Structure 1
Amino acid sequence: MLSFTPRIGAKSLAKFLSKDAPEKLVNYSAPQWQALGLKPDQINYLNSAAKKEVDACFVWMNQKDNRSIITSLDEHYPALLRQISSAPPVLFVEGDSSCLDKPQVAIVGSRGATVEGQRAAHQFGRELAEQGIVVTSGLALGIDGYAHDGALSGQGETIAVLGSGLNQIYPARHRQLAARIVESGALVSEFRPDMKPRAEHFPRRNRIVSGLSLGVLVVEAAVKSGSLITARYAVEQDRDVFVLPGTIYQANYQGSNELIRQGASLVQNSQQIVEELNLLLNWSLNQQTMQQSTLFSPPNSEEQLPFPELLANVGVEATPVDILASRTNIPVHEVMTQLLELELSGHVVAVSGGYIRKGRG
């Protein structure tokens, strides 16, 4: 009920849940809601339309065995998605919900894609799927559709995140594709099943596409495009961004080339993506049948950790190089050398403000 209330986002919902248990919140009176800061129109929704809409969601779920509603309070909520600051409180899923926790790479790009872009999206989708990676995208025309179809042609799984409810497949031209995805993956939405597509839904949808994924591949992107929004979300969520380069004379590649200029990884084949994400992919593939509570596998107690003195001073908060040098009495140039080796071996990762430790370290 609360997650459907107008102008209540993930942060507000988390605040409410910190005040009381969900089963108690749903029975709050109007004065209690007002005391939590809700406005009259929000309280009116909770006291009138909310129950009907929630009941309709459960009716939708019970119509088919492959439908599920996952809340952020559930243990099987996708582990990577849970980490983002604006994680959706509710996910509606049709298909195999378990694939949401499998290693994923998002493929995004222009709706009006060139023939070369369409071919690349299909090829990368197929090759990644053949290597056991779930291909995630937004079911849009152009690059999205070709990426989904490529994954299916590679006998793999693919996830489509919608900007509408799952009873309102958009675009309509992709209804058949959506039906195929349900058989070999999943359709996902944070919107109620009967919610129609709206322009403002699609930027919100993009944060889920990147949030579910280990990395985002931009195939074609103009200067102003939804793909760049997804790439920005990926950076904010500390995901890798990969870009296929394109001619400087084609508008569809101007945004892509700018991403490369800003530091995104230029890739020319799918193997380069796999190699870049190798540490994360190895962990994810090995953990598919296990409960996932952290992003990295536990350390091997028998493993001799490299540079233990430096590593002991790198924690979960970003620590600058000069601070590490001061703490360890190791010269800055040597600290940088050791950090590079630790990063290559998967024990630390460079972030804004310094370095943090990976759980496997």
Structure 2
Amino acid sequence: MADKQQKERLERIQTMSPGRPEYPALLKEIRDFPGTLYYIGTPNILKGKCVSIVGSRKTTQYGRSTAYGFGKKLGQRDVTVVSGMALGIDTCAHEGSLQEKGKTAAVLACGLDICYPAQNHVLKKKIEENGILLSEYPPGTRAQRYSFPQRNRIISGLSPLTVVIQAGNRSGALITAEMAADQGRDVAVVPGNIDSEYNLGSNKLIREGALVLTGVQDLLEAAGLSSLPEQEAKRLLGDEEQQLYDLLCSHGELSLDQLSFYLKKPVNEVGNLAIVMEMKGVVFSAMGKIFIAKD
């Protein structure tokens, strides 16, 4: 029976390369993108908005509940949660997204026919069926010490934003955060108790200038998402305002000149639209750009 299941899993493994349409466009922007990616699942989920969530394997209830809650919220908003399927923070982020029937992607440090860690065999199956498993290693490749930091560049490379939740001083999540910064991506961190060893690395990232996430609202803003429910936005906005709102949802933030270009309207006309939307509490302006407003 086990041999049959293994054979079926091997048959499901497919490959993608940078020249293929299913290969993630954002990943091709990093310096050392993989020439071949093995996958099981649905590659289309990598074409939409993605957020990477990483953290320590050893964590606390605070870290687990935060990762699970962030995964749920992103799952509700149709954002693909990217992580490494490790125990601890990774697992909770994946599970939170799956709980909401959301999209999630796991990047493994071994061949896709191998479950590492073995405890996550049920989670692995869920992701195979409802998301996507990825690896640059061919089937049969066992996880090695070097393969974890190597795969971390893919986790960060798939997303414009990497979120770190509870990372100790030697956590692999710090490597992922460093790689994200080197790739020109945003790094956001959930602060933690300064007396806890689980938060030493996380708090260090904050000291070095990472974005600080104090709650779900901060996460949505960092990901370029509106906290305003879509139905409520449609109720408040006219057709032209809705077009502007949709652009901001896609890009996170835009200047009036950029909005004018996308909407093909004069800058003063776009500015008037933005003023009306700001009065409605849907957007706000700062530093010469227009942002989605808070609740």
Q: TM-score range by the shorter chain?
A: 0.7 to 0.9
- Structure 2 residue corresponding to 1:128, chosen from 63, 74, 80: 74
For 1:1-361, list aligned pairs within 5 A: 63-64=11-12, 67-278=13-224, 299-300=261-262, 302-305=264-267, 340-341=287-288, 344-345=289-290
Given that 1:246 and 1:253 are in contact with CA atoms closer than 8 Å, whether structure 2 keeps it comes out as: yes
Shift of 1:285: 7.5
Tell me, in whole angstroms, the C-alpha distance in 2 between the residues paired with 1:132 and 1:192: 30
Q: For residues 121 and 195 of structure 1, what CA distance do their matches in structure 2 show?
A: 29
Q: How far apart are the structure 2 equivalents of 1:61 and 1:299?
A: 48
Aligned-partner residue type, residue 78 of structure 1? P
Mark the runs of 5 or more structure 2 residues left unpaired by the alignment.
1-6, 227-244, 252-257, 269-285
Q: Return the TM-score normalized by structure 2.
A: 0.76
Q: CA deviation at 1:63?
A: 1.8
CA distance in 2, matches of 1:156, 1:231: 24
In structure 1, C-alpha distance between the alignment counterparts of 2:31 and 2:163, rounded to whole Å: 21
What CA distance in whole angstroms lies between the structure 2 residues aligned with 1:102 and 1:284?
Answer: 15
The 1:138/1:283 distance shift into structure 2, 3 A limit, reads farther
- Check 1:299–1:156 CA distance in 2 against 1; reply closer, same or farther (3 A cut): same
1:115 is displaced (CA, Å) by: 1.4
- Structure-1 separation of matches of 2:14 and 2:73: 29
Q: Which amino acid is the alignment partner of residue 340 of structure 1?
A: M
Name the amino acid aligned to 2:92. Y
Larger radius of gyration: 1
1:2-45 per-position Cα deviation (integer Å, ceiling 9, x unaligned): xxxxxxxxxxxxxxxxxxxxxxxxxxxxxxxxxxxxxxxxxxxx
The SS at the match of 2:287 is helix
Cα displacement (A) at 1:198: 0.6
TM-score by length of 1: 0.63
CA deviations on 1:24-76 (whole Å, 9 max, x unpaired) are xxxxxxxxxxxxxxxxxxxxxxxxxxxxxxxxxxx989823xx4210112133
| Structure 1 alignment gaps of length 5 or more | 1-58, 288-295, 307-338, 347-361
With over 3 angstroms needed to count, the CA separation of the structure-2 counterparts of 1:268 and 1:73, relative to structure 1, is same
| Aligned mates of 1:297, 1:111 — CA distance in 2 | 42
* 1:120 counterpart letter in structure 2: T
Residues 245 and 99 (structure 1), Cα distance of their counterparts in 2 relative to 1, 3 Å cut: same
Which residue type is aligned with residue 40 of structure 2?
A: E
Number of matched pairs: 245
1:280-330: CA deviations, max 9, x gaps? 99669869xxxxxxxx99943623358xxxxxxxxxxxxxxxxxxxxxxxx
How far apart, in 2, do the equivalents of 1:62 and 1:143 lie? 28
The 3-state SS of whatever aligns with 2:262 is coil
Question: Which amino acid is 1:102 matched to?
Answer: G
Q: In the TM superposition, what whole-angstrom CA distance separates every residue of 1:194-241 from its partner, at most 9, and x where no partner exists?
A: 111111000011100010012011010111210000000111111111
Partner deviation per Cα, 1:89-130 (whole Å, 9 max, x = no partner): 111110111112221111110101111111111111111111
- Measure, in 2, the Cα distance between the counterparts of 1:284 and 1:134: 18
Residues of 2 paired with 1:98 and 1:248: CA distance?
A: 40
Offset, 1:140: 0.4
Q: 1:176 to 1:60 in 2, by over 3 A?
A: closer
What is the CA RMSD across the aligned residues, in angstroms?
2.8
Match of 2:240 in 1: none
Instruction: State the alpha-carbon separation in 2 of the partners of residues 213 and 282 from structure 1.
Output: 20
